[in-house]
Structure formats: C-alpha cells, structure tokens
Amino acid sequence: MIRYGILGFGLHAVRRLMPGFSRAKHCTVTGFWRRDQKKAREVLEQYPQFPLQSYGSPEALCASPDVDAIFVASPDALHLPHALTALKHRKPVLCEKPMAMNTGECERMVEAAERAHVPLGVAQNFRFEPSVNRIRQIVAAGTIGKPLLAHSEFHYFVRQHPRTWLTDPSLACGGPVGDVAVHCIDALRYILQDEVSAVFARALYDKDSGAVEFAATLFLEFHNGTIADVTVSTRAEYRTPLWITGSGGLVGAEDALTVDHALALHTRPIGGEISVEHISNDTTYQDQADAFALHVERGIPFVSPGIEGLRNQQVLDAAYRSIKNGNREPV
C-alpha cells in the first residue's frame, strides 16, 4: 500500500483526486501541503476517513517517513521546484499536467529522476480512461483503416473560477492550451501511437483572460501523416468530443474524454454497420493512482512516465511559438 502526499491541495484535489483515492485499492493519502495554510484545517475536517496530516512546507511533506510518494498538484510554476524537492528526498513523483512551464523545466525533472533512480510520472489521466483505450484498440486493429484526420476539443467555463491562478502567467503555463489542450494532444499521441512533427496555432485573448489565451485552435501534423485539429476554450460549457477519421471509417464520441457520465462510442466503417458502445470513465482517477502505486511498489510499467510529459510540453512550446510568430513550428 503506497502512501501518497499531495503537494498543492486545491480544487483539483477536492473534485478529482480525493474521490479517486477513496476508491483506490493499492494506495491512500497520508499527508498534504496547501498553499493557504489557513485552509489546511478544513481539509482535515473534510476527510476524516483518511489518516491525513497537514505539513507546513513542501520540504516537510517530502521528508516525512509517513509518505512514500508525492502527487504534485500545485500550480504549474511550482511543479519543477516541488518535483525536485521530492526527488531530493528520493520520493517517487506523479506530477499533474502540464508537467512544467516549458520544455527546459521538464528536462530538468526527467534528468533529476534518472539521477535519483526514482520513478517520475505525469498525470495524463485520459490514458487510463476506458473510452480512450477502446478508441486506441479500434484504430490499432485497422477497423477504420489508416488514420487520416483527427479532431479533439476541450471546453470549460472559467470566468470567476475558484482556481484564480489559471489566468496568472506567473503561475500558469498558459490558458486552455497549457491547461487542457495538453490533454487532447496526449490523447491523440496515445491513440495514434504517433508523434507530432509540427504545429500551427492561433489564439484569442480578452480582458478577463489577460496575458493568457481564452481560446485557441491547434493544427497538428503527425509523423505518419495524420492531420489533427485541437480546439480549446474557457468560454463554453464543458464538452470533450474526439473523432478519428480513417481511410475505412470513423470512430469517436461527442463526450469521449469525460469522466462525469457514461458516453456512447461510435464506430462507423465505410459500407458497414454502425457499432455503439456505452462506456463509463468513472474509475479513471483511482486507476491512475493505483497504476503509479503499483509501478512504485512492484515495478509494473506505468503508461504515462515523465518522458511523455516532456514530449507533450515540446508540442505546447511549439504551439505557443506559433501563436506568437504566426508560423508553422516544428516540434
């Protein structure tokens, strides 16, 4: 049983991580650090079923003998220092996406983990979704032929959002490109089992988003020839459609990436019968936490190691370069 410590106990921990940990079979949470120490007492009162202890600093949490692994869930700009602190204490790290503020920071994290001989993972939770894995299986089986086009969207509404740091460029990697396009990019890389070779991107800004974008579209070119478009925004209701069009058919769903309700996955071979599968992703967060715990405890391969976070960050960096200079950027 792996005992996690959560660095950065905010809204994401409350909404997603702790419900997952409450159902996990191979791990639990024994400690946490919260930026607002005044709210730490609230956490202890909210989760009496966990053997939780509040720590006064990231250093104290990472040094604790009562913590086996660190889940970094702090704002993006803190991922690097928090991961390095954990690795210094030889604690395995599962880091939220985006893994850092830029590729250089990700490289430092990967190198530090390698030097310490300690596992480093990135919390690209969609790799643990049954829907994403089913689409991956269908594409790999050749059911829709050669993948030609891919389409992924991720929208959510962020005005007056509790995570106020999302529009602070000193804390956030970016707007929805850094926050959720990284999910779309990673899901497509994972499904297609291919790498992005170039990006062309455009973004929108307004007074509420400030220095970070509130919407963007990315065009991704993959090595094996697939062209994908990724559209994200923080000005619409939550939705996450994903479709793959192949030379022999189509597969996808309108809510392909959601963890909040069951979805209908459609497979439509050209000239064949439409197949509909009803899939739920409600165990995604517990499966992710358990998978990393089993990786730490038993050496079972983890499908989202730190190198995947680095590769996603390389695509994000290229997208932001393209937004700034208006050019197609190689990855």
Q: Domain check: are 156 and 95 in the same one? A: no
**Do 198 and 88 share a structural domain?**
no
Q: What CATH number is associated with residue 300? A: 3.40.50.720
Q: How many domains does the chain have?
A: 2
pLDDT at 266: 98
Query: What local confidence, expressed as pLDDT, does residue 160 receive?
Result: 66
Q: Are 48 and 150 in the same domain?
A: no
Residues 190, 55, single domain; the answer is no
- In the block, which residue shows the tokens 């913590």? 67
Strand ranges for the chain from DSSP E:
2-7, 27-33, 53-54, 69-72, 93-96, 120-123, 147-157, 196-204, 215-222, 227-233, 235-239, 242-246, 249-253, 263-269, 275-279, 329-330
pLDDT number for residue 162: 66
For CA atoms 307, 310, 312, 315, give the dihedral sign.
negative
| 139 and 262 part of one domain | yes
Whether residue 154 sits in one domain with residue 106: no
One domain for residues 55 and 99: yes
Q: Do 301 and 321 have their domain in common? A: no
> Along the 331 residues of the chain, how does pLDDT read in single tens digits?
999 999 999 889 999 999 999 999 999 999 999 988 788 888 998 999 999 999 999 999 999 999 999 999 999 999 999 999 999 999 999 999 999 999 999 999 999 999 999 999 999 999 999 999 999 999 999 999 999 999 999 999 976 666 778 889 999 999 999 999 999 999 999 999 999 999 999 999 998 888 999 999 999 999 999 999 999 999 999 999 999 999 999 999 999 999 999 999 999 999 999 999 999 999 999 999 999 999 999 999 999 999 999 999 999 999 999 999 999 999 9
Give the pLDDT confidence score for residue 4 in this predicted structure: 98
Verify that 176 and 318 share a domain, yes or no: yes
Q: Which domain holds residue 79?
A: 2-125+286-305
Q: What pLDDT is attached to residue 222?
A: 98
177 and 67 part of one domain: no
Are residues 183 and 322 part of one domain?
yes
Same domain, 94 and 146: no
Which CATH number do you get for residue 200? 3.30.360.10
